């Protein structure tokens, strides 16, 4: 894991990223362009000043507001335990190109979400189980005939993860989100955090349902 845009704990915030599309063949959607914008949002929100005022003491490691990004669902940077996690995603779709039945997509899927089945036309086509699919894009990457193609790329947003004495995995917002939607959501979360957090209370302890943080959101 590398730390582009990473600040020291004394500043009160941290942005961490995985190795990314330059090094990892599994990248579904690059988060690289988001790193600078997210770091600026944290600086503009003056999270450092807020925490210093709220705590009345030196900012400690467990007070730091963390945003973690990963380019695919392998999530090497562990976005599931950050205050806000961003995961790159790609939605595969079965296009019109004839399938060669090479079985590469089936073998490439770690979640057993792809199988070949007979189509109404009498040939075989890939079928994607949307309940199993993690939107990693592996099947798209290996398809030699381009039968499988990306219909949408974007980002999953996870909120409120933490470690510590009472760890909790982050809650995922429904849907796939654009860069603009990610930034708007993070801005809303930072405002919510500064409005409701007192004495260094972690973001994850401020809510139990996403619609308390994101107006209009429903799981």
pLDDT in tens, 78-111: 999 999 999 999 999 999 999 999 999 999 999 9
Angstrom distance (rounded) from CA 39 to CA 7: 9
Q: Is 50 exceeded by the pLDDT of residue 7? A: no
Q: Which burial class, exposed, middle or buried, applies to 78 when counting CB atoms under 10 A from its CB (0-12, 13-18, 19+)?
A: middle
Structure tokens at 62: 């467990």
Q: Is 70 exceeded by the pLDDT of residue 58? A: yes
Q: What structural domains does the chain harbor? A: 9-90+153-212 (3.30.413.10), 91-150 (3.30.70.20)
């Amino acid at each position: 894991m590398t730390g582009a845009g990473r600040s020291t704990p004394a500043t009160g915030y941290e942005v961490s990223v995985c190795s990314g599309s330059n090094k990892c063949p599994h990248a579904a959607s690059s988060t690289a362009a988001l790193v600078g914008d997210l770091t600026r949002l944290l600086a503009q929100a003056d999270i450092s000043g807020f925490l210093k005022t709220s705590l009345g003491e030196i900012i400690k490691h467990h007070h730091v507001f963390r945003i973690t990004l990963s380019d695919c669902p392998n999530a090497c940077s562990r976005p599931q335990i950050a205050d806000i996690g961003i995961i790159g995603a790609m939605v595969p779709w079965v296009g019109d190109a004839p399938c060669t039945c090479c079985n590469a997509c089936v073998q490439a899927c770690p979640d057993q979400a792809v199988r070949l089945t007979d189509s109404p036309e009498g040939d075989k086509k890939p079928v994607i189980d949307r309940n199993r699919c993690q939107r990693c894009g592996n099947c798209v990457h290996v398809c030699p005939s381009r039968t499988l193609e990306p219909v949408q790329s974007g980002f999953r947003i996870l909120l409120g993860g933490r470690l510590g004495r009472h760890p909790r995995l982050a809650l995922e917002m429904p849907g796939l989100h654009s860069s603009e939607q990610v930034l708007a959501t993070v801005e809303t979360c930072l405002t919510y955090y500064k409005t409701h957090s007192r004495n260094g209370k972690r973001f994850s302890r401020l809510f139990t349902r996403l619609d308390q943080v994101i107006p209009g959101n429903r799981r």
